[in-house]
Structure 1
Amino acid sequence: MDPTEIAAGMAGLGTLSEVSRRLAEVGAVWGFPNHAIGPLPTADRPVEDAPFMVENWPAEWVRTYFAEGFGAFDPVPRAAETLTVPMTIAEIRQGAAGFRPDPRAERIFALSDRLGMTCGLLIPVFGPQNYRAMVCFAGPGPDPDPPTIAALRLVGLCAHDRIRELSRELRRQAIALSARERDIVVAAGQGQSDSDIATALGITVRTVRFHFASIRRKLGAANRVQALAMAANLGLLGR
């Protein structure tokens, strides 16, 4: 498997899900089928960057992570804020990132171990205007050797760049939604049915569905659920 060829191929992928699937396939070859890619939550993130998070963590891991508030003491994003080179999760766990993880972080590691993500690799991403992001691989491993780290770094950075580019395109498409389309997608995101939305806006159910078809087309979504997920990721449901 040629990492350079794989990395170059990322540029030709047309959707976030395609990039994620390809990254999972490639990562699995080295024992890292799971991944998360996204910018770090900083107040000075460049305004032109659309927020995004592409991940394929096990559903139980995601559910528990947010329910238990793991983000408040997860050492991996903290390490990504200052690191300039890749580092294994085992090294971060041992304090090699320049700090000792909060003792509560052992709950995160225990959950990861139980779900088969016993090894991991953090790849920091940084750019102009203090842009910081991370690519994190996880899986049964084993922990990567230097050639594997170099390969995963190349592939991961190219995946990040393609995801960032696609997210910007989604942001541009989202901005192109009409005022009526925005009203409808917000209402749908609140759980309202087509009938409820039609009544609230004084239009017919058929018109609601017509607008939603336009929303799906503009966002490149395959169905209503995917359109709402993409709208949430673009920050359209919180206005």
Structure 2
Amino acid sequence: MEQTRTTAEVEDCLLVLAAEFGFTGLFGGLVPTRPVHVSEIPSRILFQRYPTEWAARYNGKGYIFIDPVVQRLSYERNPFTWRESYETCTQEKHVQLIRGEATEFGLYDGYVVPISTIDGDIAALSFGGPGAIPASADLSVLNFAASYAIGRRLHHLAAARRPAPDLTPREWDCLLWAGEGKTDWEISVILGISRSTVIKHITSAREKLGAVNRAHAIATAIRTKLLR
């Protein structure tokens, strides 16, 4: 998954893994935490590999607002099955509608992984398939894969919206030597500047790159071709 370049490739990786548990489709996105218009839903979708007709019907008719799975996501932060969300839903007519129509497209049961983002949003990845989930199935691997996939997709979206960072020559030099494994003191000797100035330049570069720490800044610079 780390080597993927497109959303479709990430979906392919997830489906290969999910197939080991009998799942054939997946859907992921940002969960609405406030009333939104149906026209806003497409912008919240991060992954979608369900039968085209079912996806079009689900999105077009605004089923997200009555789906027992989404309702459970409003309070549940631990992974759960579709069956569990159907059992706890108080609107039986909604259960019959969503479960019935999903089954028409070979989606009988599924597994949902809620994910809290660093921005405070709730994302979720839902795997679906034609059969019941075995009680003995260890789905923890899907928890990790889902979290990683959502994180990677959100990072790509943020990077696409973020303008290219304008690093100063000194910031670039400091980050370059940091990428070579040099310490702040070693970089200060190489560049003929104080250690505190090195730290200042690296901190500034990190902030411009939107990185959480030094290693993340170096990795981001390499990935965006600022460093080679």
User: The TM-score by the shorter chain falls in which range?
Assistant: 0.5 to 0.7
Q: Does 1:66 align with 2:59?
A: yes
What one-letter code is carried by the residue in structure 1 that aligns with 2:95? A
Taking the aligned partners of 1:22 and 1:74, their CA distance within structure 2 comes to 26
Point out where structure 1 has 5 or more consecutive residues left out of the alignment. Answer: 1-9, 44-49, 175-239
Q: Which residue of 2 aligns with 1:228?
A: none
Mark the CA change 1:25 to 1:69 in structure 2 (over 3 Å): closer, same or farther: same
Q: Which residue of 2 aligns with 1:160?
A: 150
Taking the aligned partners of 2:139 and 2:71, their CA distance within structure 1 comes to 20
Q: Which residue of 2 aligns with 1:134?
A: 124
Query: What do the CA deviations read for 1:25-69 (whole angstroms, capped 9, x no partner)?
Result: 2111211121111111235xxxxxx85421111011112213433
Q: Which residue of 2 aligns with 1:16?
A: 7
2:33 counterpart SS class: coil
Contact 2:29–2:125 (8 Å) recurs in 1: yes
Task: Name which of 83, 94, 109 aligns with 1:90.
Answer: 83
1:116 counterpart SS class: coil
Q: Which residue of 2 aligns with 1:29?
A: 20
Q: Which residue of 1 aligns with 2:162?
A: 172
Q: Which residue of 1 aligns with 2:112?
A: 122
Q: Which residue of 2 aligns with 1:54?
A: 47
Taking the aligned partners of 2:87 and 2:100, their CA distance within structure 1 comes to 15
What one-letter code is carried by the residue in structure 1 that aligns with 2:153? I
The number of residues matched between the two structures is 157
Mark the CA change 1:102 to 1:165 in structure 2 (over 3 Å): closer, same or farther: farther
1:124 counterpart SS class: strand
Higher-Rg member (1/2):
2
Shift of the alpha carbon at 1:72? Answer: 2.4
Taking the aligned partners of 2:110 and 2:31, their CA distance within structure 1 comes to 18
Counting only pairs closer than 5 Å after superposition, residues 197-216 of structure 1 correspond to structure 2 as: none
Shift of the alpha carbon at 1:102? Answer: 5.0
CA RMSD of aligned residues (A): 2.5
Contact 2:21–2:137 (8 Å) recurs in 1: no
Contact 2:31–2:44 (8 Å) recurs in 1: no
Mark the CA change 1:131 to 1:141 in structure 2 (over 3 Å): closer, same or farther: same
What one-letter code is carried by the residue in structure 1 that aligns with 2:147? L
Task: Name which of 80, 85, 100 aligns with 2:90.
Answer: 100
Mark the CA change 1:173 to 1:28 in structure 2 (over 3 Å): closer, same or farther: farther
How high is the TM-score relative to the length of structure 2? 0.61
How high is the TM-score relative to the length of structure 1? 0.59
Shift of the alpha carbon at 1:171? Answer: 2.5
Mark the CA change 1:166 to 1:52 in structure 2 (over 3 Å): closer, same or farther: farther
Contact 2:33–2:74 (8 Å) recurs in 1: no
Taking the aligned partners of 1:77 and 1:173, their CA distance within structure 2 comes to 34
Q: Does 1:41 align with 2:32?
A: yes
Q: Which residue of 1 aligns with 2:73?
A: 80
Mark the CA change 1:20 to 1:67 in structure 2 (over 3 Å): closer, same or farther: same
